[in-house]
Structure 1
Amino acid sequence: MLRYRTLSYEEVGAVAWVTLNRPEVHNAFDSVMIRELHECWRALRDNDDVRVVVLTGAGDKAFCTGLDRTAAAVGEADRPRDIGQRGATPLHLDDPGDLLPPKTAGQLWKPVIAAVNGMACGGAFYLLGEVEFIIAAEHATFFDPHTTYGMAAVFEPMLMLQRMPLGEVMRMTLMGSHERMSARRAYEVGLVQEVVPAAELHEAARRAAEAIASQPPLAVQASVRAVWYAQELGLRQALDVGKTLVQLGTDQDSLAEGQRAFASGRRVDWRLR
């Protein structure tokens, strides 16, 4: 089992639960967490026992509040800083986004579900921008404080623009710390896919994760990759790549498993959302 200083990690069946575990600073990430998340995403690629990942935060106050700005937490005295400008000009920059998101940093195409259990702001969008979907507790809030503190909001709104309408991204970006988006509003604009009472968040994430994990993993992962290709490429390019993904993601073992399930006469106990 993987061991980390800033993350809690647990495997339950085919589901891995990755918990940002710095509740004393609202699960803000320091250099250690940045490295450990990168290592975790990479390790999950190689772990065939895990089919789905749930990402959440410790406690009930915050999912993640971005970069921990306290000097002692961002870097360690005996090693180079993980983030910031390299050299005399601003053209060489190491950004947390190089190491944090599951797709960009980890090249992880297993489904990742975010269970947002409180505040999600600033650098939290590095993570939320690259999960498959988000389930939020009713008390969850979303905001980006960069501009309030004199910093340009750049990567976070770029990622959110893939998940929210332009006007909503602009408002959240420009209002800074002066306004927070509720879980209900986030659901209305498509950022969040389900809102549940806080006490039901874990169960809602578990239910979704186990349902996805019950299906043939190759078909699931190829489907994930196809949707992200469609998000990132032009439509014609994505459709062309899709022809290859259909071949790669539909193997005889998966088809046989699906046929056995269909032929058994047993049907999935579905729920209406």
Structure 2
Amino acid sequence: MSPGYLRSLLFTDPLIVVLTILMGTVSLVTTFFDSTGRRPHKIARKWARMLLSVSGVRVTIEGLEKIDPDGPYVFVANHRSYMDTPVVLGSVPVEFRFFAKKGLFLIPFLGTHLKRAGHLPVVRGNARESLKSMTQGAHLIRERNVSVLLFPEGGRTEGPMREFKEGAAYIAMKAGVPLLPLGIQGTRAVLPKGSGHIRAGEVLLRVGDPIPTSGMKPQDRSQLNIRLERVVAELAGQAPAASVPIPEASHPAAGHRSL
């Protein structure tokens, strides 16, 4: 057993648990006085930065100047690790809500917190429920001028990047806001799939140019989604799942992927 692992086991991991419980409790309490979700987001951002600092995870950010603080955006990132969300939370200075699998909303305390803070559940494999969640996301952007974060692969990946589901493109087009691609590198090394131990290490978060959606029609969604997938893949240093050429803007898409 290495000294670093022993230190993590005896000090870092217990400290993370304590910080998460304390700050999560404070955040949950604030939801009873703040229906906008702004205070819970600020607390979540502080928690994420503390988590990264305590764990020895150093994040380098490229292209942060491309984000307009007034937003809003549909943030889209690749998904390699549970550390992806804390990395984005601690690095992106814009208020946002994120989509998470519905199972997390069923966990006592955590589920209540997620719901009251304004985050949105996604039901995998249920097209009707997914459409409902994506529509709620678009309404959230329009009504509260707040951004949202999605991982369109539909789950963490260990190998090549999966094909993007079209939910992010759907939300951005319906809300009339830009897509903001993010590429995350290094999180799989600091927290591999199946592991509960966060390792110290370097993470790179790359911010791409906003992709406008204003004026796009429903038949443009597949083209937009393929473009988004390729941009995120390049930012993340991964090969895109889409291997078909991007169709011309004047040609309607032949079909759609699921939301």
**TM bucket, shorter chain:** under 0.3
RCO greater where, 1 or 2, for CA within 8 Å and sep 6 or more? 2
Q: Normalized against structure 2, the TM-score is what?
A: 0.28
Structure whose alpha-carbon radius of gyration is higher = 1
